[in-house]
Homo-oligomer: A and B are copies of this chain.
Amino acid sequence: MGAPKQKWTADEEAALKAGVIKHGAGKWRTILKDPEYSGVLYLRSNVDLKDKWRNMSVMANGWSSREKSKLAVKRVHHVPKLEESPLPADNDVKSDDAAVDVKAHEVPLMPIPSQNRSTIRLGNLILEAIATLKEPAGSHKTAIASYIKVNMLREVKCWCYWLE
């Protein structure tokens, strides 16, 4: 459902090359704003220009993906990358007495076992909401939790109602 994927035309490539010659590689925004090229490249963003230039350069150097993967130096990441562990089919979120095996003293950080990017994002969103709520008044955790219960849950429900 993303973008329809816009193939670069010969005109656009020519404009990009001319722009790089005129302003230099890396001056993508400058090239984009240059009236000399903006008429041709108006569909593109500065990032698009950067990416296209990279693709063109790679082709010129004759690098294959296999060689690139050889050269790719992997940094040491100790990301455990949790298993996919699909979401529980349980469609019902139990009310406030829902059993969540999380205890404040035992879980210093995120209590949510994020299993995919979307879920991680949601956790971040909630975290941000909490952080935001801290600003106005020096609210304490209980106050924040209360606020979330009252407002955020209500908003979520409201949104669900609206979406259905």
- Residues on A lying within 8 angstroms of B by beta carbon are 1-4, 6-7, 9-10, 14, 17-18, 20-21, 24-26, 43-45, 48, 56-57, 59, 63-67, 75, 77-80, 87-88, 90-93, 95-96, 98, 100, 102, 104, 107-112, 116-119, 121-136, 138, 141-142, 144-146, 148-164
Which residues in B have their C-beta under 8 angstroms from that of A79? Answer: 9-10
Contact of A109 among B14, B111, B112, B164 (CB under 8 A): B14
Q: Which residues of B contact A7 (CB under 8 A)?
A: 75, 77
When A and B form their complex, which 10 residue pairs have the shortest distance between CB atoms, in order from nearest?
A25-B131, A145-B163, A93-B153, A125-B125, A111-B162, A14-B109, A141-B163, A57-B128, A1-B138, A145-B160
Q: For residue A131, which residue of chain B has the nearest CB? A: B25
Which residues on B sit within 8 Å (CB–CB) of A153?
93, 153, 156
- With A10-B80, A21-B131, A45-B65: A149-B91 Cβ-Cβ less than 8 Å: yes
Given contacts A3-B64, A111-B159, contact A24 B134 (CB under 8 A): yes
A21–chain B nearest beta-carbon distance, Å: 6
Q: Which residues of B contact A90 (CB under 8 A)?
A: 150
In this complex, the member of A14, A67, A158 whose beta carbon has the largest number of chain B beta carbons within 10 angstroms is A158
Q: A126-B155, A146-B91, A148-B160 are in contact. Are A135 and B65 (CB under 8 A)?
A: no
Task: Decide: B24 and A151 in contact? CB cutoff 8 A.
Answer: no
